[in-house]
Amino acid sequence: MRRKVKSSSYEMDMCHGPIFSKVIVFALPLMLSGVLQLLFNAADIIVVGQYVGSTALAAVGATGSLTNLLLNLLMGLSVGSNVVVARFYGARDDEKVSQAVHTSILISVICGVVMVFIGVFLAEPLLIMMGTPENVLDGAAQYMRIYFAGVPVIMLYNFGSAVLRAVGDTKRPMYFLILAGVANVVMNLIFVIVFHMGVAGVALATVISQGIAAVLVLICLLRANGSIRLYFHRLKLHKEVLIEMVKVGLPAGLQGMLFNVSNVLI
């Protein structure tokens, strides 16, 4: 099956025309999106530090390296998804693009659910292994449990945005993160100052705001007109496509994990 029409005005043809300007237009939203994702945890730390206290600040800060360590493997798989979708899209193989899209979304849900159980049930044992002080252990474990309960939507956003970026659309994932970031800050302040929820409040705000971004990405895929359009009834793990994703994504994920191993040890 060959692609005849462009599925979205946000897509970018990187195969024709001057490449330098396109790389800049493509890369700037991508870099900003990376910065925005880092600011979610930073916003949590700032709010609890200002309005809750040093113990809550330490509780949230203690989880950063550990959550990144556990999630980076899955983030690497989303890189594999991005590469595979882009490869088939560039080859104009719409059937393989569709298989890659549906495999990506399904694997994001599966991995997200697995991480819920790992994060919720192993949060406290892992924090103890890190030597987390007793006075912040309960708060840190609570933050991790709530955060990991929302990992499926975090994975859905990352894999969904990887699909959009594979066809040159880096702007909409960035817009969605900006909206989610603003929502995160507002909900942080409401949950902490108004409802006095402390650590649980900032964790819940992070999960809800990430959920907003995930829903917006999902809507984009459901409404797409081209080969990246998502159909729930077509969700399936296509073996050949999945193998290609793992070949690319697993080394990327392991590399990301290795950087965080040192931070966890420290």
**What are the sequence ranges of the domains in the chain?**
19-265
Its pTM stands at 0.89
Q: What is the pLDDT of residue 16?
A: 63
**CA nearest neighbour of 223 among 159, 176, 175, 164:** 164
pLDDT tens digits, one per residue of 74-96:
888 999 999 999 999 989 999 99
Average pLDDT, rounded, for the chain: 88
pLDDT tens digits, one per residue of 140-160:
999 999 999 999 999 999 999
**Cα separations in angstroms, 58 against 78, 133, 151:** 30, 9, 22
Average pLDDT of span 4-17: 58
**CA nearest neighbour of 123 among 181, 72, 62:** 62
Taking the C-alpha atoms of residue 46 and residue 264, their distance in angstroms, rounded to an integer, is 21
Average pLDDT of span 229-236: 96
pLDDT at 8 over 60: no
Average pLDDT of span 3-22: 61
Q: How confident is the model at residue 229 (pLDDT cuts 50, 70, 90)?
A: very high
pLDDT tens digits, one per residue of 252-265:
888 888 877 777 77
Taking the C-alpha atoms of residue 72 and residue 78, their distance in angstroms, rounded to an integer, is 10
Q: What is the pLDDT of residue 27?
A: 76
pLDDT tens digits, one per residue of 164-218:
999 989 899 999 999 999 999 999 999 999 999 999 999 999 999 999 999 999 9
pLDDT tens digits, one per residue of 35-56:
777 777 788 888 998 899 888 8
| Token pair belonging to 41 | 């945890």
Task: Check: CB of residue 143 under 8 Å from CB of residue 200.
Answer: yes
Rounded to the nearest 10 degrees, the angle between the axes of helix 64-90 and helix 151-166 is 30
Q: What is the pLDDT of residue 248?
A: 93
Q: How confident is the model at residue 15 (pLDDT cuts 50, 70, 90)?
A: low
Q: What is the pLDDT of residue 2?
A: 45
Q: What is the pLDDT of residue 6?
A: 46
